[in-house]
Structure 1
Amino acid sequence: MALIGIGLLTGVTTVLFGFGGGFVAVPVVVWADAALGADAMRVATATSALVMVVNAGFATAVTPRRVLVALRGSGPLLLLLAAGAAAGALATRVAPPAVARWAFIAYVTLTIVDLLLRPGFLRPRARVAAPSDAPRPLPAVLGAPVGAVAAFLGVGGSVLTVPAMRRAGHTMHVATALANPLTLAIALPAAMVSLGGYALPAGADAQVHLVGLVDPGAAAALLLGALPVIAVLRRRPPRIPDRIHAWSYIGLLAVVAVAMLPSG
């Protein structure tokens, strides 16, 4: 029931912030699968990828075409994001779990500092006349490293694409909507790699039943809560002032970073 309740929150973050659920899902699955010890982080990033595939895919499907047209011509970027994501998911299997956890915290913390100090996010430049006139959310050459880092940490990459779209002049509403198809390009190959055969080290708690590195029970509970919320909010999006929307994005990142700090 707790995971379903958190799933409601991942649905909100998917629509309002373009996260696809990754930033929320990782700390929650680490908590839910704490019996795995250090390996909980590996399972959390893998499970997060699967949750993001469904959430971001569904959110993209119900996004108006007039918004998605801003990604026209982004084929090379999407392919490189996917290639980088596959590499990042493979790296998750061999990297020490503590490295991934502290990298997650550092990644989110540096992003918060960047959003607060560098101009263009809280007060974006002059807005573009139409989505089709806007620059691409990221240069294609950055696709592979962004995809690798996002898949390794289980976050989907929206933390880079949303600020980039803001600095291109988009409102938070449009920027977060465009983050979902980019998140899907990262999460799909990462989830496929994570679902492949893999055995946790001896001594891992057998009470957690996995498929590859994915906890299907946790993923199902999160999605059960998230998908109805996505459907409702896409049909009737809340009217949030743009500046409050931007500050809320930063606030959520701060909460997630604190939640990932080791206890005790």
Structure 2
Amino acid sequence: MAENNYLPFRAKILAKYRQTELDWTYRLESSIRPVSGQFMEVSLPGVGECPISISDFGEGYLEMTIRKVGKVTEGIDKLAPGDYLFLRGPYGNGFPLEEFYGKHLIIAAGGTGLAPLKSVINHFYARPELLQRCDILTGFKTPGDVLFPEDLDRWAQTFRVEVTVDKLDEAGNLEVIANSCTRKTGLITGLIPDVQLSALEDVRVIIVGPPVMMKFTAQEFLCRGLEKENIWVSFERKMSCGLGKCGHCKIDETYVCLEGPVFNFAKAQTLLD
């Protein structure tokens, strides 16, 4: 009997980790093996449902980093390990990891856009021989908004990692970000000129973040000679029902939740949101 994509299942919260004032990472008991870049629909009975990207997964668990921004996520914020959430999915198309094998991979993440990329980075961190090189560029509003600082430090032991913030917090201290990473202030696009590119045909780029960040970051890489076919983006912020029924994610004739949220930029540039 085929699985019913409409039917939620109960998932136990195994652990809960604070990331920022508004963001928590939840580790949930699950046997699902998603593709990096996919998302789940998360619900609380009697409260509602919302789409959340999968930030990481492993044997017997998956993780989602959830920001408290509305009624459903405020309810989730009150839960503790041992409580349950209801999930359905995974949905959407993820990142084509094999497309990056043997290449110079550049990952550019803005704010919470780092969450759906965490499993991609961990995949290659565990298998660095699959890549020529890897540069990780991350941008946040302030040091207090930085996600996964311990992971950034860990990744920096193998890959080149740069972290930039739009502005300093009241303490004016960049050291809280991550000890092993290059730390700067300014927009993430300001990091791109310093990236030493391999042969252009061997470079692949993933960009995830707010729409304006993805637009101008992609333009910077195009200006450096990359082909649009070698750039991938995620429209994960457009997710709604996950099944192509509600129409909230539709751009022209494209249902983002069915054909995306991950798109090659050759397609993404035609999706005027």
What TM-score does the superposition give when structure 2 sets the normalisation length? 0.27
Q: Which has the higher contact order (CA 8 A, sep 6+)?
A: 1
Q: Which has the higher helix share?
A: 1
